[in-house]
Amino acid sequence: MRRLLNCAANATKALRTKCLDLSPFKMKSHPLVLCSASFQGDSVCNGAHSKKALLSDPQLFDAQFDELLSELTERDMNDSGLTDALKRLKEIMVYNVPGGKKNRGLSVIGSLRELLPPSQLTQDSVQQALLIGWCIEMLQAFFLMADDIMDASVTRRGQPCWYKRDGIGLDAINDSLLVEASIYRLLRRHCRNQPYYVHLLELFNETTFQTELGQALDLMTAPPGQIDLNRFTMERYKTIVKYKTAFYSFYLPVAAAMYMAGVDSEEEHTNARHILLEMGEFFQIQDDYLDCFGDPAVTGKIGTDIQDNKCSWLVVKALEVLSPEQRSQLEVRFKSLFFCLSQIYISI
């Protein structure tokens, strides 16, 4: 159990650091927070004599993207008739995949370093962990590209959403599917001879299904133009967060590393899942706060939760303490005025 605590703490430290830097919420001292040091300064292969051994995990991770991009768009298919489509795939990948903090992807190698002794952490296993990390970043890009269309978002990571670019529009739906399909091409090519390959496929498929269920619940809770604040309960909020965010953002990277390390017992995965889903909920609460009160210059996006009628933590908590008059005001103005919830929340 202690190994799982260390793994969860280190694999997600970058996420926690980002949250604490941007948000007024402060995490209290806790064994999870005070565990071992961050993985980000570790070098590849624990002393392997090569130039790569001098690079940190984030540097190795960035270098790996160029390699997999070349593989997918230049060496994967040899049909000359697909030249334009592969060029489009390259543009999609470059624009949508590497622009984030990469915390989910880096959590794979960070977790693997916690789970394997140095003698077992070979250069091949490091490279596979980096590639699996990029597959998670690609899964994230697939989700976000589709989510931006459904939410009619304007910006993502400090630039226009992909579907908002000239000439893209709803073609972005197929573009997002290309990104998702590329995940399984990479996993098959690089991992199918590994004993954990089937576990990885099941993990990615199950996580995708869980996330899409969470997205469906989110959309059903707040259909466009239909205001029903009775749907905005803490139970519903926690379920949306668990399935839409926590599974793929927190459990997926650590679970992938566990399978790579040969940790495949249901008990250990259940223990890790419990810890990581709690951390995912904490992360989402801060994200909801930043959607309303965060500076777009810092967060990289313009928040739309209020005008999108989203079941966010702010409105759920506000509904628990609003007076009847304030609730009535919120029901009338929730959809039309972006600043309404901000003003009410500040006043209570």
Alpha helices in 116-231 (DSSP H): 123-151, 172-191, 197-221
> Rounded to whole angstroms, how far apart are CA atoms 93 and 82?
16
Of 104, 283, 291, 301, which residue is the catalytic one? 283
**Six token digits for residue 67:** 């390699």
Of 52, 88, 90, 101, which residue is the catalytic one? 101
Active site residue 291: no
Distances from the Cα of 196 to the Cα of 49, 138, 181, 267, angstroms? 28, 20, 20, 17
Of 42, 57, 147, 305, which residue is the catalytic one? 147
Active site residue 21: no
3-state helix, strand, coil in the chain (%, to 5): 70, 0, 25
Of 142, 143, 232, 334, which residue is the catalytic one? 142
> What is the residue type of 345?
Y
Of 16, 242, 244, 301, which residue is the catalytic one? 244
**Six token digits for residue 159:** 């630039």
Active site residue 84: no
Of 16, 102, 156, 310, which residue is the catalytic one? 156
Active site residue 65: no
Active site residue 2: no
> Rounded to whole angstroms, how far apart are CA atoms 291 and 313?
11
Active site residue 142: yes
> Rounded to whole angstroms, how far apart are CA atoms 61 and 130?
6
Active site residue 87: no
Active site residue 283: yes
Of 42, 57, 148, 218, which residue is the catalytic one? 218
Active site residue 287: yes
- With beta carbons less than 8 A apart as the criterion, state whether 207 and 180 touch: no
Active site residue 244: yes
Of 57, 287, 291, 308, which residue is the catalytic one? 287
Provide the annotated active-site residues: 101, 142, 147, 151, 156, 218, 244, 283, 287-288
